[in-house]
Amino acid sequence: MKTIVKTLFVLSFAMACTTEDTPDIPNEQQNTENPKNENPKTETTTNNVEALQGDWFRVGGNNPTNNGMLVRVIDEQGVIILAQDSGFDKDDIKWKDILSRDEENYDYSELGSDYNYYNAQMEIGTDDTLRISVAAAGAGNIQKWVRDFAEFNDCMPYEPMNDENTINEFWDAINETDLYTGLLPAVTSPGGGYYTVVLTNDSGAVPGLKVTSSDDTSGAIANSTAAATSDENTRTTSFLVYPEVSYDIAAHYSSHVPAGTSPTPYEIIWSYTDIVDCYEPNDEFSEAKAIPKNEIIEAYALTGHINNSVTYGEPQSYDYYSIQLRKPAKIKVELLEVPSSVNLNVKVFTTDGQQLITDYEEVSGVVSEDGAIYNTQTSSILEEGKYIIRVTIGGSRPTVVNDDQDIPDHWNSPYTFKVTTAD
């Protein structure tokens, strides 16, 4: 065996004023325009909060988790319409008792994450930008809000990281198996990709190749010889890769060999093809990535090997996305392109995991078959808020191919879709 171990307190002071605190006014200094020295009438001040009325979207501050919130100002309070992941609830009064100091500055009470109210100030700019400062230390005491909000898009592009290597070694005897632990290194690309491994020799030996996950001691991703293939001196295996998982290679000197001398040289050639999916990781409900409506989204249906087998329903079988409704509407998910080697199933959920009833409209193919293209729409109009879309990767979806077999369509071709709304 060969092993390569490669968080201001605001203090208020009340000044007690008595008649002794007010000096006498000499007659010559009395107001000649008011000879009776009457108190002048006090002007009635107006709480002008007209400029604040309407919707405000949070886009910045020192608590990014709350970005994307929508607060609607009605009279002198701001009500949460979209809570995002802030921990607040829809219809909570986020801004209370708004009082104008002048045309640009306002005092009010801010609802904190502990559901207590704190003194705060707003300043509205000429560009319709609202900046908030809360008189309490901690995350969220500085905030930026705007009128027009570009929908969130959690796509994080990255450069592909392809790799390759070659190893030349010898078998010393027939039926020898050389194990290379972790020969195929764990990749860091969030979307994963696929490895291709070629075991070959020019001595007439029929090689056997075994590929296993370093995280799984039972079974194998691939395990067979080149016997009865178009090239019995070479064994080739390609398989889908999951991020942060390394893979072991075993090279076997098969007994299906002609008479010859030992040691017998062999060569292992491996390559890694990276697949860029800017929405990964999104295999879990909690990892749902925000996508904008009315834009084409591109992603890959890659169910890479964590263990030596990939079972339908495992996390890598799912892609989760989130969208925002600014007003009541139905959600419509339009599949635009689907690789011929997978079948996609689309579901819509509330943020607490309740699956919503949907209707289907076939565009091409049969909904249950590989490559089918269809539309999914919620049966009823939904309230404003955040919703989760789950794409389940099913169908034949091969995760490993050998020798002369073609690379499956979904390994190199993305699925595309668009989310729209309907009344």
CATH label of the domain that carries residue 79: 2.40.128.520
DSSP string, 64-120: GGGTT-EEEEETTEEEEEE-TTSS--TT-EEEEEEEESSSSEEEEEEEPTTS-EEEE
Q: Is residue 197 part of a domain?
A: yes
Q: Is residue 384 part of a domain?
A: yes
Q: At residue 110, what are phi and psi to the nearest 5 degrees?
A: -100, 130
CA distances from 17 to 25, 38, 40, 122, 386 (A): 17, 20, 20, 31, 54
**Domain check: are 173 and 205 in the same one?**
yes
Q: Is residue 9 part of a domain?
A: no
pLDDT surpassing 70 at residue 26 = no
Token couple for 356: 């919503």
**Pairing state of beta strands 318-325 and 289-290?**
parallel
Question: What is the C-alpha to C-alpha distance for residues 250 and 184, in angstroms, rounded to an integer?
Answer: 11
Domain holding 211, by residue range, is: 163-274
**Domain check: are 267 and 290 in the same one?**
no
What is the tens place of the pLDDT at every residue in 335-351?
999 999 999 999 999 99
**Domain check: are 233 and 344 in the same one?**
no
Region 15-21: mean pLDDT is 32
pLDDT surpassing 50 at residue 384 = yes
User: Which residue, 274, 293, 327, sits at the end of a domain?
Assistant: 274
pLDDT of residue 45: 54
User: Which residue, 274, 304, 329, sits at the end of a domain?
Assistant: 274
Nearest to 304 by CA among 400, 381, 388, 369: 400
**Domain check: are 209 and 85 in the same one?**
no
More confident residue, 87 or 17: 87
Q: Is residue 330 part of a domain?
A: yes
Cis ω before 190 (30° cut-off from 0): no
**Domain check: are 266 and 292 in the same one?**
no
Angle CA 412–413–417, to nearest 5: 150
Q: Is residue 193 part of a domain?
A: yes
**Domain check: are 167 and 256 in the same one?**
yes
Output the domain CATH number for residue 183.
Answer: 2.60.120.380
DSSP string, 285-296: GGGPEE--TTSE
More confident residue, 382 or 10: 382
In the chain, the number of structural domains is 3
Helix (H, G, I), strand (E, B) or coil at 190: coil
Region 238-261: mean pLDDT is 86
Reported pTM: 0.80
pLDDT of residue 16: 35
pLDDT surpassing 90 at residue 137 = no
What is the tens place of the pLDDT at every residue in 209-219?
999 999 999 99
Q: Is residue 86 part of a domain?
A: yes
**Domain check: are 394 and 289 in the same one?**
yes
What is the tens place of the pLDDT at every residue in 276-329?
999 999 999 999 999 999 999 999 999 999 999 998 889 999 999 999 998 899
What is the tens place of the pLDDT at every residue in 208-245?
999 999 999 999 999 999 999 999 999 999 999 999 99
Token couple for 210: 């075994």
**Domain check: are 268 and 290 in the same one?**
no
**Domain check: are 294 and 270 in the same one?**
no
Q: Give the amino acid at 355.
A: Q
Q: Is residue 23 part of a domain?
A: no
User: Which residue, 223, 255, 274, sits at the end of a domain?
Assistant: 274
pLDDT of residue 174: 86
**Domain check: are 135 and 182 in the same one?**
no
